[in-house]
Amino acid sequence: MSKFALPALPYDYSALEPHIDTMTMNVHHKGHHQTYVNNLNGAIQGEHGGQFKGLSIENIQRNAVKAPDAIKATVRNNGGGHFNHSLFWTLMAPTGSANSAPHGDLKQALETEFGSVDEFKTRFNAAAAGRFGSGWAWLCMDRSGKLFICSTPNQDNPLMEGISEHVGIPILGLDVWEHAYYLKYQNRRPEYIAAWWNVVNWDKVVENYSHAKQQKTPVFDVPLA
């Protein structure tokens, strides 16, 4: 039976320097993300994982609340970790290789919902900096087509109906676990957040927004071994 595999990064580990350092990218991808993949595979291939065998990573998110008690925490945490990180890598690009600002319909939607792109960033930064402990900040679309900002704890995400307080399709997400920034920024999370905007792949975010308008989740590589 096929297992989930670690997706390759769409750029070199050093490509996001100086904003995201090479060592952090190595540890984050090869260490943390690989562990989520391994643990998820172990849970869904074990004796309690039958209902999750063959499901896409998206559908595992949507059904995490229904997992048997014996594997519920593992599926929630590691399935979320695999989905979140597989999306996260695509949301960044080396400086100069993608549009440096939102554009098209997404730019207009951000201005309509938040007043300006700068105000959107201010509110997103507050969600990311204000997440107590480990978690994520998100820009999402709800079922009515409205954009909203939220944060989730640990490896939860807005696809997790019955778990997440805010349900919607994630368009942009920022990892604010300490492992995402501590080697370079130590306890200076706001500095990491500010630096991250320099490597946001706005072309991908615009693509995600286009999918969300059709109530489709972002497209990214989820390889099987």
Please give the pLDDT value at position 173. 98
Helix or strand run (H / E) with residue 136? strand 135-141
Q: What share of the chain is helix, strand, coil (3-state, %, to 5)?
A: 50, 10, 40
Please give the pLDDT value at position 1. 56
Q: Looking at this protein, which amino acid is placed at residue 1?
A: M
Between the alpha carbon of residue 176 and those of residues 26, 54, 180, 217, the distances in Å are 17, 30, 6, 22
DSSP label of 148: E
Residue 45: other Cβ atoms inside 10 A: 14
Please give the pLDDT value at position 40. 98
175 labelled binding-site residue: yes
CATH of domain 104-212: 3.55.40.20
Ranges of each domain in the chain: 22-90, 104-212
Q: What are phi and psi of 175, to 5 degrees?
A: -80, 120
Do the domains spanning 22-90 and 104-212 agree at the CATH topology level? no
Cα torsion through 92, 93, 97, 99, rounded to 10: 0
Please give the pLDDT value at position 49. 85
105 labelled binding-site residue: no
Q: What is the pLDDT along the chain (225 residues), one digit of tens a residue?
A: 589 999 999 999 999 999 999 999 999 999 999 999 999 999 999 989 889 999 999 999 999 999 999 999 999 999 999 999 999 999 999 988 888 899 999 999 999 999 999 999 999 999 999 999 999 999 999 999 999 999 999 999 999 999 999 999 999 999 999 999 999 999 999 999 999 999 999 999 999 999 999 999 999 999 999
CATH of domain 22-90: 1.10.287.990
82 labelled binding-site residue: no
The full DSSP string for 171-221 is: EEEEE-SGGGTHHHHTT-HHHHHHHHGGGB-HHHHHHHHHHHTTT-PPP--
In angstroms, rounded to a whole number, what is the distance separating the alpha carbons of residues 36 and 27? 13
Please give the pLDDT value at position 13. 98
Helix or strand run (H / E) with residue 151? strand 147-153
